Chain A
Amino acid sequence: MNADLVILLISLGISFVLLVLGWIVGRAREQAHMRDLDAREAAAREVLLTGLRSFPLGADPRHGAVLVSGECVIATDYFKTFAASLKKIFGGELTSFETLMDRARREATMRMVEQARQMGYDAVCNVRLEGVDISGTGTNPQAQAMAAATVFGTAYKRAV
């Protein structure tokens, strides 16, 4: 048997194993994270989240207001990276990365909301989301994809 063929088969085998591993583990982790987010969002539903610059529903001056923030960085998986690189040949929607960005933003937002709740506040206004290029894809296109989100807002106690 040709030595080159053996090396080719081994490298193809490793890629295949990683692909299957990424698909199974990555998907399980993503679904578990989504369920966790759904539950936490439901639990924190009474917190009024707005992007308005003033204090909707009025703020109780006795409790003041404070800056709260959250951040989250989520890794991609081998399957997502592979699916995206295939999709990039034809162009269009990269669904696998959409959910990744979505998870990072929701997780960061929930951390901010939970921080506000812990401090006894029931509303956060002027919520601002910001992406961070932590992987270095902005300066190096070869860098691995990574979803990073930071979010901040002003927590206050509703007057009504």
Chain B
Amino acid sequence: MIVVNTETLPGMRIVQVKGIVQGNTVRAKHLGRDIAAGFKNLVGGELHGYTELLTEARREAMERMLAQAQQLQANAVLNVRFSTSSVTQGAAEIYAYGTAVWVEPEAPAVPPPPRF
């Protein structure tokens, strides 16, 4: 499955548009991480636990979106976007959406007919 956030693909043309596909996930950090973050907030630095959480959340939302695209028998998802919203304290939603399409390689330039 080809996934991009542009509207076109180099060397490919869209043959069929399958429609919009989406996936979301709401994730919360666990209490241990909260306490660790509390300490980190005294001296600064990266909060690796939360970075990981975001990476996992994005991956999960993407996978759900791709599962939908597969069901629609698409071979590419174009113009993918991510959106986030805060649902409740300590939990964030990551939402991925895009347009599922069927693409095919652009026809190569027709070779000149052989001359006899």
Residue numbers of A with Cβ under 8 A of B are 18, 21-22, 25-26, 29-30, 53-55, 58-62, 64-67, 69, 71-78, 80-81, 107, 125-126, 128, 130-134, 136, 138-140, 143-146, 148, 150, 152-154, 156
Q: Is the CB of A81 within 8 A of B41?
A: yes
Using A21-B43, A75-B40 as known contacts, say yes or no to A55 and B58 having CB atoms under 8 A apart: no
- Given A55-B10, A150-B54, residue A72 in contact with residue B46 (CB < 8 A): yes
Known interface pairs A66-B4, A152-B5; 16 further A-B residue pairs with C-beta atoms within 8 A, sorted by A's residue number: A22-B42, A22-B43, A60-B10, A64-B10, A74-B45, A75-B41, A77-B41, A81-B41, A132-B54, A132-B84, A133-B85, A136-B86, A136-B90, A139-B86, A143-B89, A148-B50
B20 at the interface (CB under 8 A from A): no
Binary CB contact string for chain B from 84 to 116 against chain A (1 if under 8 A, 0 otherwise):
111011111010000000000110000000000
Alpha-carbon separation in the docked complex, A78 to B41 (Å): 7
B interface residues (Cβ-Cβ under 8 A, vs A): 2-12, 29, 37-38, 40-47, 50-51, 53-55, 58, 80-86, 88-92, 94, 105-106
| Pair A144/B46 contact, Cβ less than 8 Å | no
- Give the interface centre of B10, B58, B83, B105 by most chain A CB atoms within 10 Å: B10
Whole-angstrom distance between the alpha carbons of A59 and B8 in the complex? 11
Which of chain B's residues have a CB closer than 8 A to the CB of A77?
A: 41-44
Minimum-distance CB pairs A-B, first 4 = A61-B11, A59-B10, A77-B44, A26-B44
Chain A contacts for B92, CB-based, 8 A? 132-134
The answer to whether A73 and B47 touch across the interface, beta carbons within 8 angstroms, is yes
Of the candidates B6, B45, B84, which one forms a contact with A65 in the assembled complex, judged by CB atoms under 8 Å apart? B6
Contacts of B105 in A (CB 8 A): 61
Chain A contact residues, majority secondary structure: mixed
Interface centre among B2, B8, B45 (most CB of A within 10 A): B45
Contacts of A26 in B (CB 8 A): 43-44
CA distance A25 to B45 in the complex (A): 9
**B86 contacts A150, C-beta separation under 8 Å:** no
Chain A residues, CB < 8 A from B106: 61
Please give me the residue from chain B that is nearest to A153 by CB atom: B5
Alpha-carbon distance A142/B38, docked complex (angstroms):
13
Q: B85 → chain A, closest Cβ, in Å?
A: 8
